[in-house]
Structure 1
C-alpha cells in the first residue's frame, strides 16, 4: 500500500461530513469487511482521502491499524449526498478480539471528516456468543425500559394522588381551624352563659326573697290595718261617750 499523507497530530473537524452506515457490532476474524458510508452534500472528496481502522482511544491519525484509499464517486454532484463503500480483506484486519475499533474518514489535508460507531473483531464462536449476549442485553434493556416507563406512570399516578390528598388535607385543616374557632367561641359563650345563669339564679333567689318579704309585709300591713280600724272604732266610741257626757 502507498504511504498515506498523515499529519503528526490529529486535527479534528466536525466529524459530520462523512457518515458511516450499517456498522455491525461484531465482525468475524479473517473474513472480509464491507465499509459503507455517505458523503454528505457539505463535503467534496479528493482522490487522496482515505479510510482507516483505528483502535478505540486513538489520538493521532498515524495510529491507524490499516487503511484504504477512498474511491472517488462516479458522479460528483456538489450539493447532494453520495453513497459509497469499500471492502477490507480479512487478512488486513486486526486479529485482536479484546479491543474495540472504528472506521475514520481522513481527507487529503489530514482532517477527520467522519467516524463510525465502535465494533469488535472476534472469532466465529465469539461472535455468536457476543451476539447472543447483545441480544440478551437488548432484551433486558427493553424490559428495563418498559419497567422504567411503568414506574414513571406509577410515580405520576401516585404524585397526582398525593397532590389530591394534599389539597384534601389543606381543606380539612381549614375546616379544623374553623371548627376550633367555633368551639372556642362556643366555649366562651358557654362560659358566659354559665356566668349569666349564675347571676340569673342569684336574681331568682333575691326575687324569691323579695316575694317572701313582700308577703310578710302584706301580712303586717293587714294586721296594722286591722289595728288601725279597731283604733278608729274605739276613737269613735270615745268621742260619742264624751259628747254624751258633755
Structure 2
C-alpha cells in the first residue's frame, strides 16, 4: 500500500472510533493489504489519538489462543498499543456509551518496574522486570462491521483495542505459578467459564517474551511503568448494560467489571 493510502486508512479508523461507527473490512476493500501495511495503519490511528492528547501507557497482546488463531488464519500473536484514554477502574466500571460492539475477555496484566528491551528477552528477564501482576478485563471493540475480521483487519484496528480495567489485586510473579494458576469467570453471579494460564502460549510470561522480542526488533522498548495485557484466558463475551463480570485467578485474587450504558451497535 502507498503511504497515502496507509494514512487514509489510519485516519478512517480513527474517525470511526471517534464517531462510534463501523467500516467495511479492509481486506474486503484492499485484497492485497499485508500485515506490515496493517501495522503501519495502526500506528497512524494511534498517532491521531496521541495528537488529540492521549499518551501511550502500554501494550496488549492478542490472538494468543488456538481457536482465535484458527478463526483468523494466523498462528502467531499480534499486538496493539494501550493509551491513557482506555483506562477504566473497578470503582467506575465500564461506560458502554463510548463503545461500538464490545466484547469482554479476562486475562493477566503485567506492570513493569524496569525497562525491558528486546530482542533476546527470556522468561526470567520478564519476571525480573515486573513490579506485579493483576487480574484484568480487556473490553475489545472493533471498528470493523459485524466483527468480520481477518488478521489484517484487527492489526490495522490497533488489535481491536477498546478499554481495559485492572483489578486491585496485585501479586509477585516470582511467587505465583502463572502457567498452572486457574481462572474462573463469573457473569452476573453464575460461573461462565474456567481456564488456566497455560492456555496463553503455554504461559502468560511466554506471550510477554514474544512481544518484548518482537518490539525489540522494531526498536520499540518496554519502559518502566508500562502495562502489558498478556492475552485472553477466557472466551470473548458480549456485554450490555447491567452486566457484572468477575474473574478470579488462583493465588492472586479478583477483578470485577460492571457495565453501564449502551454501545452504538446493539
Same-fold call, TM > 0.5? no
When normalised by structure 2's length, the TM-score is 0.21
Based on CA coordinates, which of the two structures has the bigger radius of gyration?
1
Higher strand fraction (1 or 2): 2
Higher relative contact order (CA 8 A, sep 6+): 2
When normalised by structure 1's length, the TM-score is 0.23
Higher helix fraction (1 or 2): 1
